[in-house]
Amino acid sequence: MASLEYSRAAALSWAQAQLVAAGQDDSPKLDADLLLCHQLECSSASLYAWPEKTLTATQWQGFSDLVEQRNFGRPIAHLLGHQGFWSLDLAVDASTLIPRPETELLVEAVLSLDLPAQAKVIDLGTGTGAIALALASEQPQWQIAGLDQSSDAVALAQKNALACGLPQVQFEHGDWACGWVKDPLAPIHCMVSNPPYIDAKDPHLSQGDVRYEPLSALVAGDHGMADIQTIAQQASQLLASGGWLAFEHGYDQAAAVGQLLTRLGFTQVATQQDYNGQDRVTLGQWPQ
């Protein structure tokens, strides 16, 4: 069939069949819809309101290229250039992790804490800025900073802050919290992080979207615990009395993270499960 003969409905059917045949996609119908909307720069409602409308040759070529890249496993968020998180729409690229729904639990956990009205909150390994910006969207009076060792990630987070109308969130280059000192005049009330926590030998690293994400944001030494240990140690030296540390971690790391925080002197250590019933977030409070 010549490209000019493809209606929107026919293009969607073709794309779904291609995605299913490639076996790379868990949601071929949704992804076909998203890719065609992206190519046509239209909403889903508009897409289905005129299913018979024909694609131009340029539109068809762009759409078929997107489907081909998805068939090779490139993440849908990278193809679209953005990803929804919390109530925000964030720009994404290959320099950072793609924000994931389970990380919203970490945002919920921090928002549930009894923090001061103008709390100072530090997001370590901020990536796209997802956690910091989600917190700022709910608590605009908080003083929030995001740190990342990737200059590209910092630039992306700054871009997202402006696009989301949250320019008060500060993003800086940093190797976790190295170089920070405890300042009684500017106490840190909460440190939050979704750090690398995957073991380098984990077979999941060769599957799905993570193949296209930076290993530095995924993998940590000591069976995935090295960066968690570094951050927890820094938090024990930087947090204000009564301050909180909150981590996202692997489904099988809750016990190790809890033991680490307890050993360092944190109290009120507790783990929360994600929407799939997996241990996902552990918090601890620095003694008051």
Please name the residues in contact with 249: beta carbons below 8 A apart, sequence gap of 6 or more: 197, 228, 257, 279, 280, 281, 282
CATH number for the domain spanning 18: value is 1.10.8.10
- The verdict on 41 and 183 lying in the same domain is no
Please name the residues in contact with 48: beta carbons below 8 A apart, sequence gap of 6 or more: none
- The verdict on 138 and 69 lying in the same domain is no
Task: From 20, 44, 73, give the residue that closes a domain.
Answer: 73
Task: From 29, 46, 73, give the residue that closes a domain.
Answer: 73
pLDDT tens-place values along the chain, 288 residues long: 444 578 999 999 999 999 999 886 778 999 999 999 999 999 999 899 999 999 999 999 999 999 999 998 899 999 999 999 999 999 999 889 999 999 999 999 999 999 999 999 999 999 999 999 999 999 999 999 999 999 999 999 999 999 999 999 999 999 999 888 888 878 999 999 999 888 788 777 767 777 877 777 887 788 889 999 999 999 999 999 999 999 999 999 999 999 999 999 999 999 999 988 999 999 999 998
The string of DSSP codes covering 188-220 is EEEEEE----B-TT-GGGGSGGGGGS-GGGTB-
- The answer to whether the beta carbons of residues 210 and 261 sit under 8 Å apart is no
- 58 lies in which domain range? 3-73
Residue 228 Cα distances to 224, 232, 258, 273, angstroms:
8, 6, 11, 18
CATH number for the domain spanning 108: value is 3.40.50.150
Residue 80 lies in a domain: no
Helix or strand or coil: residue 284? Answer: strand
pTM over the 0.85 mark: yes
- The verdict on 49 and 69 lying in the same domain is yes
Supply the pLDDT for residue 1: 42
- The answer to whether the beta carbons of residues 19 and 64 sit under 8 Å apart is no
Supply the pLDDT for residue 204: 74
d(CA 104, CA 85): 7
Burial 47-63 (b: 16+ CB within 10 A, else e): beeeeeeebeeebbebb
Task: From 37, 53, 73, give the residue that closes a domain.
Answer: 73
Supply the pLDDT for residue 211: 81
Of 247, 268, 109, the closest CA to residue 176 belongs to 247
- The verdict on 60 and 165 lying in the same domain is no
What is the longest distance spanned by two Cα atoms in the chain? 71
